[in-house]
Structure 1
Amino acid sequence: MLGNNCRYYPSCSEYSKIQFELNNPLKAFIVSIKRILTCNQLFKGGIDYPVIELNLKNIKYKKLPVKYWLIPLKKNKYYVIKAEV
């Protein structure tokens, strides 16, 4: 009815979806609620990629299609960017 009106990129729903796929449910719920509460005229908005904590040392790699790109932020923290297929 109102169209595409999210103040952030990626949209709040896409942000929440990524959080629930890659983080534990409690942390994903908290950061998703925080993001939704800041999606109003009092906040600037803009580009806000999800950040996840991940230890890549113990992961075994397989050939799979790329769904997300992980961009290093800090030690064991990564920005998550959705890969366009």
Structure 2
Amino acid sequence: MGVKLNSAELTLAHLDLDVPEELRPSTLRRLGLRPELDERIDALPPLKGWGLRQTAIGLLRLYRRIRPEAIGNRCGFEPSCSRYSELAFRTKPPVTAFRLTLSRLHRCKPGHGGTDMTDLELSE
């Protein structure tokens, strides 16, 4: 007899997903879970000040709070596109971050996915 978990108890540690790697992030999101990179980016502290970088990050975080669930649970990439953009604005000059964001959005299509940290690194 299997152990039943409620959604609050369900974590990545409890799952052994047998899906292709490019479907893993969207599958986790559909189950109400966030992939590891999403969790790590969400845990980053807000930046202080009111510059372009801070404003962009604040708007991205606001977007994630108010967007409809149907939009938030379908991204096929890890990290999600908005978190990728946040990381770009945290680690690159604003013009480069904007270019990376547009490039990522261009790659974000149904049937594509997996872990994508093109041109970015998340420090430990």
Q: TM-score, normalised by structure 2?
A: 0.39
Return the index of the structure with the highest Cα Rg: 2
How many angstroms does 1:82 deviate by? 6.2
Is 2:101 aligned against 1:32?
yes
In structure 2, relative to structure 1, the CA distance for the partners of 1:82 and 1:9 (3 Å cut) is farther
Amino acid in structure 1 at the alignment position of 2:82: S
Structure 1, gaps ≥5 residues long: 53-79
- State, as a whole percentage, how many aligned pairs show the same letter: 33
Larger RCO, structure (CA 8 Å, separation 6 or more): 2
Structure 2 residues without counterparts, runs of 5 or longer: 1-67
Structure holding more helix per residue:
2
CA distance in 2, matches of 1:50, 1:31: 8
Higher relative strand content: 1
RMSD over aligned CA atoms reads 1.9
Which residue of 2 is the match for residue 81 of structure 1? Answer: 122
Aligned length in residues: 55
